[in-house]
Amino acid sequence: MRTLPLLALVALLPLAACGGNEPASPSSDGTAAAAAPTGSPLSRKIQQAMAEASRELATKNISVDREAGKPKAEISPQGDFLVDGKAVPVDEAQRKLLLAHRANLIAVAQAGIAVGMQSADLGIEAATGALKSVFSGKDEEFGKEMEARGKRVEAEAMKICARLPALLESQQALAAALPAFQPYANMDQSDVDDCGKDGNYTANYGGVSAHYDHDADDGDEADHAGAGHESDAAAEADAAAKGSSTPQ
């Protein structure tokens, strides 16, 4: 089984002008896929690739945090703990803890995907709508709308931090029960406490990552938000964006 590798960062604002002029539609159901605007070819390609990346979270191994020089460690969908590709013997209680920790890692990744896609939506709309608002004389109104939408994206980003206490708890429980996992239990309380400080919402643990920077310049939210995990579909999302930005 292929491993779910690390980091898919969707930065759409520089490509927005090449993605069509359709206005972005807000998410209707709160899912990562629905957070992307669906009007432009660029948006559809990235939405499709990120939806596939999200599905892969459930079906591929997820790597866990590790110290330098340690062998790669992964948790499989079945709750196996693999070190350097070899299964470490575990009992049923340990397997349950592995599955619980894996579920918390996935929850962080999904939260990051959701905020990344909503930030991309906002970035595309900011890029395509700014010039229109100037010509229509509604630039002040447009600015207020973007500010309000930015606050909603930040509220979504808070969900990244909200997932971290459970992730730390499951890591500590697993490390206490499974000695082979202890070298990979590098998250501590400071990671929980620091999340959200100075408008920076970041989680980066092994095979999953999530990031949102509130201090992005107006209209640049998409360049400062991302989500991911090591996945082929995530790489395809980036390739789709780059491909859609190529002049025809």
Q: Is the pLDDT of residue 23 over 70?
A: no
Mean pLDDT, residues 209-227: 50
Question: What is residue 81's predicted lDDT score, i.e. its pLDDT?
Answer: 98
CA distance 54 to 50: 6
| pLDDT number for residue 182 | 94
Q: Which pLDDT tens digit goes with each residue over 159-215? A: 888 999 999 999 999 999 999 999 999 899 998 998 878 766 666 665 566 655 655
Assess whether pLDDT exceeds 90 at residue 102: yes
pTM: 0.65
How are strands ordered across the β-sheet holding 200-205?
Answer: 200-205, 208-213, 225-229
What is residue 39's predicted lDDT score, i.e. its pLDDT?
A: 56
Q: What is the mean pLDDT of the chain?
A: 69
The pLDDT value given to residue 185 = 92
pLDDT given at position 126: 64
Find the domain containing 118 and state its range: 3-244
- Kindly report the CA angle at 115 between 159 and 139, in degrees rounded to 5? 120
Confidence band for 136, pLDDT divided at 50, 70 and 90: low
Cβ atoms within 10 Å, residue 232: 16
Residue 243 has pLDDT above 50, yes or no: no
Residues 85-104: what's their mean pLDDT?
97
Higher pLDDT, 240 or 114: 114
Most confident of 79-83, 124-128, 129-133, 209-213: 79-83
pLDDT at 36: 42
Per-residue pLDDT at 11: 32
> In the chain, how many domains are there?
1
DSSP letters along 57-125, please?
HHHSEEE----TTSPPEEE-TT--EEETTEEEP--HHHHHHHHHHHHHHHHHHHHHHHHHHHHHHHHHH
Per-residue pLDDT, 16:
35
Candidate from 15-19, 188-192, 242-246 with smallest mean pLDDT: 15-19
pLDDT at 37 over 80: no
Q: Give percent of the chain with pLDDT exceeding 70.
A: 45
Higher-pLDDT residue of 127, 7: 127
